[in-house]
Amino acid sequence: MSWMLPLPVVLPLLAAAVNAALDHVTPRWAHDSVTVAGLASSFVFSILIMVDSMSGEPLHWFSGWTPRGGVAIGIGFAVDPLGAGMAVLASGLALAAVLYSLTYIETESRNYDILIGAFGGAMCGFALTGDLFNMFVWFELMGVAAYALAGFKVSELGNLQGGINMAVTNTVGAYFILIGVALLYARTGALNLAQIGRTLAGQHAGGVEIVALTLILVGFLVKAAIVPFHFWLADAHAVAPAPVCLLFSGVMVELGLFGAARVYWTIFDAPFGAHQIAIRNVLIVFGLVTAFVGAVMAFLQSHLKRLLAYSTISHAGMMLAGVGLLDSKSLGGVATLVLSHGLLKGGLFLACGVLLAQFKQIDELRLFGKGRALPVLGVLFGLGAVGLIGLPYVGSYVGHAGIDEGATLAHLTWVSPLLMLAAGISSAAILRAGARVFLGWGPSHDWLLSQQPPEDPPERDARVPLMVAITGVVIVLGLVVSIVPGLSQRAEYGAERFRDRAGYAERVLHGKPMKTKVLPYAIQPTTGESVVYGIGAGLVTLLFAAFGLWRNRLSDAWRTSAGRVAGPPLAVLKEVHSGVIGDYVMWITLGTALLGGVWALTLR
């Protein structure tokens, strides 16, 4: 059913174009319905494509330019289960965002709808395409829509800062990708992923490939908010409207990782397959550093959306570590982690939107105890935070379990406890904030937390019940990811397919059918270690959340010595997140030099 493949991309883009063309003509309900229809049909077609991709690799060559004699001539979509899954997540979350925005966004709602349509369509295109330059184009389109959405309320300086920082850093990343694409094209004369991989497989890898690998990966890791490329994310999330944060954290960041994983396994696995260990170690170290920087920074925030943003950085690091293990178990784990994290974190952002609409505040300390008026939202917020910990069979558990298994297989057993600690700290930050806001626990002042300027609330009384309902649906879906029968087996199968470079090339270039597998519908059995790590993460969460709330009950001697040890590094960490765009680009440049330098020494 190859005719379906472009539809998840075309329909939302068409909705955006119709809305743009009928500017000043149609009333609000009309452009809202067009957008909802576009994204809903995109969602449905993405699901159909995902089902289809389980038993084959659907291909669509635009204008019928099929490969001749095993050489790709045209541009094609080539869909595997993980790519289709990302399209489902992207279009589904975009649909949730638009429904939530029906009452949340008032001014400029038409432009908002147009941008969300373009954003959703571009994300699906990025997930489905099988062509490197085509990936770049979708990447840029989703980037431009995202920058405009981040700086959507241009009346505030903070929004302009967030929008500009995001636009400049991500654009630099995109140019890095383009330079890498040009180098690969110079080397192979091809732009199709399978074709580039096949051509490079027969050549000796040299400096050009290392530079291309570094630049393309850095470009995608800027989007994926990996330290030291992550700075834009917290600024952009702090100012973007809550439903836009749902899309940023829930799927856009993960698409950055998806892009990195896609180019690694279709292209660079060929020339560097013999040096897997060098690539694996670097990716795991970057992932773990990101997981901890994000978790600690999240713990130091009182602005709720900024707190959640840093926790997203932390999770992006965990996902990168999982991808970096370069194994089907861990990659399948990452896939389910992306799904559960996207839903749970997205739901938490939507809950923040409700708080902002109801109380005109988004700061944990200013909201102190006010959330008692919204008990349902409080329960949802708590469930969202608990789901992110990775407790056995709750929320993100199967994702963490898959990564743990991958780490054991790779004999890197020290990775799992570190990930457990990072997950615990970042969930503790969310739980602490929730306890302050919804229960009024702990003191209402905390000098440890960074203060940010307040955010303008939505203009009119948004319909809180509708928004809470959507938040609830998203969070509950995220919580049950670990107990959906058959899901993790399918994710692992998808990961195997995703990593099968030769099979992918055969399918894309020669149309050979894939070997399919019959998969059971069962809940993934688990190992004792994963249960221990899940419970351990829960204990870490409780410990740190209690520390955040009731630190002042500790004895003075304890607190001064703790402050003396942890104070200076934390101050430096805060100082580094300066909010100045020049600093951010300098960090990107240094990070690129570091990555490229390490690989120049080790990939030989």
Partner 1 sequence: MSVLPYLVAGWICVIGLYGIVTSRDLIHLALCLTVTQSSTYVLLLAVGYVQGGGPPIFKGVELGTTAVDPVVQSLTLTDIVVSVTVLALILALALDVHSEIETMDPDRIVELQG
Q: Which residues bind partner 1 (CB under 8 A)?
A: 133, 137, 140-141, 143-144, 147-148, 151, 154, 156-158, 160-164, 167-168, 171-172, 175, 178-179, 181-183, 185-186, 191, 234-235, 238-239, 300, 306, 450, 452-453, 574-575, 577-583, 585-586, 589
**Residue 358 carries which side chain, given as an amino acid letter?**
Q
Question: By three-state DSSP, how is residue 77 classified?
Answer: strand
- Residue 237 Cβ vs partner 1, minimum distance, rounded to whole Å: 10
- Residue 182 Cβ vs partner 1, minimum distance, rounded to whole Å: 5
Quick one: 198 or 305, whose CB is closer to partner 1? 305
- Residue 68 Cβ vs partner 1, minimum distance, rounded to whole Å: 16
Dig out the tokens for 20 from the structure: 């743009």
- Residue 589 Cβ vs partner 1, minimum distance, rounded to whole Å: 6
Quick one: 172 or 351, whose CB is closer to partner 1? 172
- Residue 104 Cβ vs partner 1, minimum distance, rounded to whole Å: 21
- Residue 300 Cβ vs partner 1, minimum distance, rounded to whole Å: 7
Question: By three-state DSSP, how is residue 226 classified?
Answer: coil
Rounded Cα distance between 596 and 202, Å, is 23
Rounded Cα distance between 310 and 237, Å, is 9
- Residue 303 Cβ vs partner 1, minimum distance, rounded to whole Å: 8
Helix axes 28-54, 81-104, angle to 10 degrees: 160
What's the full length of the chain, in residues? 604
Rounded Cα distance between 114 and 205, Å, is 44
Distance, CA of 269 to chain centre: 23
Quick one: 144 or 430, whose CB is closer to partner 1? 144
Q: To which residue do tokens 């948004």 refer?
A: 462
Rounded Cα distance between 597 and 593, Å, is 6
Nearest to 220 by CA among 151, 138, 277, 128: 138
Using alpha carbons only, give the angle 182, 79, 249 rounded to the nearest 5 degrees.
80
- Other C-beta atoms lying within 10 Å of the C-beta of residue 427: 31
- Residue 186 Cβ vs partner 1, minimum distance, rounded to whole Å: 4
Full DSSP string of 324-346: HT--HHHHHHHHHHHHHHHHHHH
Nearest to 125 by CA among 258, 9, 39: 9
In terms of Cβ atoms closer than 10 Å to its own Cβ (0-12, 13-18, 19+), residue 597 is exposed
Quick one: 370 or 574, whose CB is closer to partner 1? 574
Rounded Cα distance between 226 and 281, Å, is 15
Dig out the tokens for 577 from the structure: 């997140």
- Residue 126 Cβ vs partner 1, minimum distance, rounded to whole Å: 14
- Residue 7 Cβ vs partner 1, minimum distance, rounded to whole Å: 23
Quick one: 141 or 282, whose CB is closer to partner 1? 141
- Residue 155 Cβ vs partner 1, minimum distance, rounded to whole Å: 8
Distance, CA of 6 to chain centre: 23
Dig out the tokens for 56 from the structure: 């084959």
Rounded Cα distance between 487 and 489, Å, is 5
- Residue 573 Cβ vs partner 1, minimum distance, rounded to whole Å: 9
- Residue 376 Cβ vs partner 1, minimum distance, rounded to whole Å: 30
Dig out the tokens for 543 from the structure: 């410990």
Quick one: 80 or 235, whose CB is closer to partner 1? 235
- Other C-beta atoms lying within 10 Å of the C-beta of residue 464: 18
**Residue 171 carries which side chain, given as an amino acid letter?**
T
Nearest to 439 by CA among 541, 545, 559: 545
Quick one: 177 or 331, whose CB is closer to partner 1? 177
Using alpha carbons only, give the angle 496, 502, 503 rounded to the nearest 5 degrees.
60
Quick one: 183 or 260, whose CB is closer to partner 1? 183
Quick one: 484 or 585, whose CB is closer to partner 1? 585
Using alpha carbons only, give the angle 34, 115, 318 rounded to the nearest 5 degrees.
115
- Residue 140 Cβ vs partner 1, minimum distance, rounded to whole Å: 4
Would you give the DSSP letter of residue 62?
A: G
Quick one: 153 or 341, whose CB is closer to partner 1? 153
Quick one: 448 or 546, whose CB is closer to partner 1? 448
Q: Among the residues of 390-446, which ranges form H helices?
A: 397-409, 415-434
Rounded Cα distance between 544 and 547, Å, is 5
Dig out the tokens for 504 from the structure: 């992918």
- Residue 219 Cβ vs partner 1, minimum distance, rounded to whole Å: 12
Quick one: 168 or 469, whose CB is closer to partner 1? 168
Quick one: 151 or 472, whose CB is closer to partner 1? 151
Quick one: 158 or 387, whose CB is closer to partner 1? 158
451 φψ region: left (φ > 0), alpha (ψ -120 to 50), beta (else): beta
Quick one: 97 or 191, whose CB is closer to partner 1? 191
